[in-house]
Amino acid sequence: MAAVPGVRRSELGDALRACRNAFIGVGIMSCMINLLYLTGSLFMLEVYDRVLPSRSVPTLVGLAILAGGLYVAQGVLDLIRGRILGRIGTSLDEALNARVFDTIVRLPLMVGSRNEGLQPLRDLDNVRSFLGGLGPSAFFDLPWLPFYLAICFAFHVMIGLTALVGAIILVSLTVVTEFLSRAPAREAMGLAARRNDLAATSRRNAEVLVAMGMAGRLTRRWSEANEKYLEGNQRASDVSGGLGAIAKVLRMTLQSAVLAVGAYLVIHQEATAGIIIAGSILSARALAPVDLAIAHWKGFVAARQSWHRLNKLLGSLPARATPTLLQNPSSRLSVEAVSLVAPGDQKIIVQDVTFTLQAGNGLGVIGPSGSGKSSLVRALVGVWQPFRGKVRLDGAALDQWSSDVLGRHVGYLPQDVELFAGSVAQNICRFDPDAASATIIAAAKEAGVHEMIIKMRDGYDTQIGEQGAALSAGQAQRVALARALYDDPFLIVLDEPNSNLDTEGDEALTRAVRAARERGAIVVVVAHRPIGIEGVDQLLVLKDGRMQAFGPKETVLGQVLQRVAPPTPIKIVSEGGVAKS
């Protein structure tokens, strides 16, 4: 199908359309399975109308063998159909999991903390689980309901009408299920997300909760959130479960009604005894997909909501096109009238900052807390996009680079250091599978952390655990510094790199900054302590998001010190020759 000009294709739809042949196969198998479902009713019809009147054992044996073979074929086809549907769900996941993970990473950088966390991943799991379950089988079987009703009418009009009335009631019940379950399912999903976010936040801050006596209060908040989730989930379950129970009772009532109508027809000699049983089996089979659909309606509603959320999310964060590969940056960093707002906010926190650094320059960024220092360095490494202005490397704006390519030329040590589960070496080399040991060790030595690492239990192969739990704050910061220096990046940005360092670590940091500058890198250091800017030659002063001063370090420091120096007392000589201040 050709795409409509100007209309964005749904990535989920494209992934599902890629499984078109598999769905066609499922449809063909559903056709064969539903034809084989006639085995039971036709077998009973023949037994009651032929075998019992003739008392022929060979006929009974032949029918039994034939029915057994058909049942085996039906079971095999049903098994294959279920496995194909499961693989369709897996194929959809394989096609989209990388994109979904990419949105999870990018979303906080665009909307800040007001995002759905891991909800996109749970949404993909919901869609995959539904496709691999029994729900789709019911929808493939539903179109065969008129076929079974037609056979019931062929047996007798009264039997057909009875089955038709039952079908209308159950289909109406399905529609009612759709309208009544939509809102409770959506509410339960939102409550589950809030509960999970609270649990994840508490887990990350377990030390603070215990140390400051907050565990009991957070437990109460968790209990309240969990209680609301259970109530919402119970409402959704009550709707789908209650309507499912009603559907089951109605189907059993219908089966008995067909038996009663058949018996009435037999009494009046308008039908045979075999038609009673065959009609009952066929009517039950006709309405089984409706019953199954109602039973799985909760999962269907959840999967549909997940589908819509994923479609909206992937549409709002389209896949990034691969830009033309530029030359490696090697000469300058330019910041051109950059103004910044936090993701998801409108307030400008950095305004009209302009400066240029050449290869080998080191810039110290200083200023009071809340002056926009960390926000500025996020823009320098491409994490935040400027509200106005441009950040350029060798004249090319950062958005002309893909993040994977730009990342090879950038070393970044954020204010809040967080390492990943894995070995020390893997964290230093940024989990590059082709990293050379010599390059990893060189980065560690440049950061002054090589001796510390080789004293660990397994050296560079030491597993640091989730979020670097096996390391102290100072060790984690020094390993993160080695990660920033790995493979000699051109632009190195360090946000308060000495906040957890001792004297030895401070000295190693200064040596690392000077060594990077000597090889031609540009180094930007945000610092509150004077030792953090020892290795730089330029200084930028920020206050309230505005640039107060920029230039050579000694010159700017002199200006800053002059501003904050106390006024010199003025001596006044009195008429009597006594000096007064």
Average pLDDT over residues 466-481: 82
CB burial readout 28-48, b (16+ within 10 A) else e: ebbeebbebbbbbbbbbbbbb
Confidence of residue 5 (pLDDT cuts 50, 70, 90): very low
pLDDT at 334 over 90: yes
Q: What pLDDT, on the 0 to 100 scale, is given for residue 577? A: 44
Quick check: 427 and 464 in contact, CB under 8 A? yes
The rounded percent of the chain whose pLDDT value lies above 70 is: 92
Residue 152 pLDDT: 85
**Under CATH, what is the fold of the domain 332-564?**
Rossmann fold (3.40.50)
The length of the chain in residues reads 581
What confidence score (pLDDT) does residue 41 get?
A: 84
β-pair type (538-543, 572-573): unpaired
Tens of pLDDT, residue by residue over 221-277, are 878 888 888 887 787 777 767 777 777 787 778 878 888 888 888 888 888 878 888
Mean pLDDT score of the chain, rounded to an integer?
A: 83
pLDDT tops 80 at residue 581: no
What is the reported pLDDT for 227?
83
Is pLDDT of 212 > 90?
no
- Percentage of the chain surpassing pLDDT 90? 26
Question: Which of 189-193, 205-209, 554-558, 569-573 is the most confident on average?
Answer: 554-558
SS3 label, residue 154: helix
| Per-position b or e across 172-181, b if 16+ CB within 10 A of its CB | ebbeebbebb
d(CA 162, CA 164): 5
Number of H helices, E strands in the chain: 21, 12
Give the model's confidence band at 112: pLDDT under 50 very low, under 70 low, under 90 confident, else very high.
low
Answer whether residue 530 shows pLDDT above 50. Answer: yes
pLDDT digits (tens, 9 = 90+) for 64-111: 999 999 999 999 999 999 889 888 888 888 888 888 888 888 777 766
Fill in the amino acid letter for 14: D
Q: In 247-343, where do the E strands start and end?
A: 332-341
Contacts 24+ apart (CB under 8 A), 316-319: 317/102, 317/103, 317/106, 317/107, 317/110, 318/8, 319/11, 319/99, 319/102
Q: At residue 534, does pLDDT exceed 60?
A: yes
Structure token pair of residue 290: 């409706």
User: Looking at residue 576, what is its pLDDT?
Assistant: 43
pTM for the model stands at: 0.71
Q: Report the alpha-carbon distance of residue 140 to residue 87 in Å, rounded.
A: 16
Structure tokens at 386: 């400027």
What confidence score (pLDDT) does residue 116 get?
Answer: 61
Instruction: Name which of 112-126, 261-275, 408-422 the model is least confident about.
Output: 112-126
Give the domain ranges of the chain: 11-316, 332-564
CA-based torsion, 561, 562, 563, 567: positive or negative? positive
Vertex 563 angle, CA 560 and 564, to 5°: 90
Is the pLDDT assigned to residue 342 strictly greater than 50? yes
pLDDT digits (tens, 9 = 90+) for 430-471: 999 889 999 999 999 999 899 999 999 899 999 987 766 778
pLDDT at 207 over 70: no
Query: What's the one-letter identity of residue 531?
Result: I
The domain defined by 11-316 folds into ABC transporter transmembrane region fold (1.20.1560)
Instruction: Assess whether pLDDT exceeds 50 at residue 123.
Output: yes
Per-residue pLDDT tens digits for 39-52: 888 888 888 888 88
